[in-house]
């Protein structure tokens, strides 16, 4: 059985990190939900003209701490908010992607997800050795992460699902229309509270069950609980 694992080394450097995890089965990701589309459009509108937020500052600081430039390699929520603030549309890719974009915008926290049927080993968050394999979303060009950057990877194949913690997703594990099983992550660090992660996760769980017919289990991983079976 696969596990989601946050390695001890992460908590040694970032003891206040917490990750909400939604483990989803029997997902209907083929029929676009009008409600999810409306919720995403509402949050995009609400964030027009938006400038800054302490949650984004917390993630900028975390990126600097492991040696990454958050302006050159922005955390996903920073890119999403910037796009929304300029009134730029965010395409509705499918229910799962639209839903985590909505939650990310609403709560101003990074969200991302992967199709677990495309992952062979455990889903691990740790520091890169620098020889792992990464193909960016929408690309076919392979690259390697920098040694010491935080990566989310398949520990059987060393394929990377996300580089620089929450900067860029990999192509191989992307959630598509035919995705039936997925893991969605909601990340917090520093002053971003576990209560906020819980609130965001519980809202997402309700929407996944109602709009996608999914069976969903929601857990929070932190320094006291560092792994979960899926």
Q: How many CB atoms lie within 10 A of CB 164?
A: 24
We report the CATH number of the domain holding residue 78 as 3.50.40.10
- Distance (Å, whole) CA 109 – CA 104: 5
Q: How many domains does the chain have?
A: 1
pLDDT tens string 82-130: 999 999 999 999 999 999 999 999 999 999 999 999 999 999 999 999 9
Mean pLDDT of the chain: 97
Confidence of residue 189 (pLDDT cuts 50, 70, 90): very high
Range of the domain at 215: 3-229
Pairing outcome for strands 3-6 and 123-127: parallel
């Amino acid at each position: 059985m696969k596990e989601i694992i946050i390695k001890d080394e992460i908590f040694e450097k970032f003891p206040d990190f917490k990750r909400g995890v939604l483990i989803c089965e029997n997902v209907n990701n083929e029929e676009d939900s009008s409600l999810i589309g409306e919720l995403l459009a509402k949050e995009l509108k609400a964030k027009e003209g938006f400038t800054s937020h302490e949650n984004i500052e917390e993630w900028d600081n975390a990126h600097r701490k492991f040696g990454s430039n958050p302006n050159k390699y922005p955390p996903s929520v920073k890119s999403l908010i910037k796009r929304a603030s300029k009134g730029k549309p965010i395409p509705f890719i499918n229910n799962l992607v639209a839903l985590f974009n909505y939650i990310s915008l609403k709560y101003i926290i990074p969200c991302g997800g992967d199709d677990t049927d495309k992952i062979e080993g455990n889903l691990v968050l740790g520091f890169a050795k620098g020889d792992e394999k990464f193909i960016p979303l929408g690309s076919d060009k392979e690259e390697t992460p920098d040694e010491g950057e935080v990566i989310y990877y398949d520990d059987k194949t060393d394929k990377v699902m996300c580089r620089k913690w929450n900067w860029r997703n990999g192509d191989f594990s992307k959630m598509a229309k035919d995705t039936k099983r997925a893991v969605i992550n909601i990340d917090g660090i520093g002053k971003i509270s576990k209560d906020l992660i819980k609130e965001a996760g519980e809202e997402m769980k309700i929407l996944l069950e109602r709009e996608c017919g999914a069976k969903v289990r929601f857990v929070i991983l932190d320094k006291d609980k560092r792994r979960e079976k899926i």
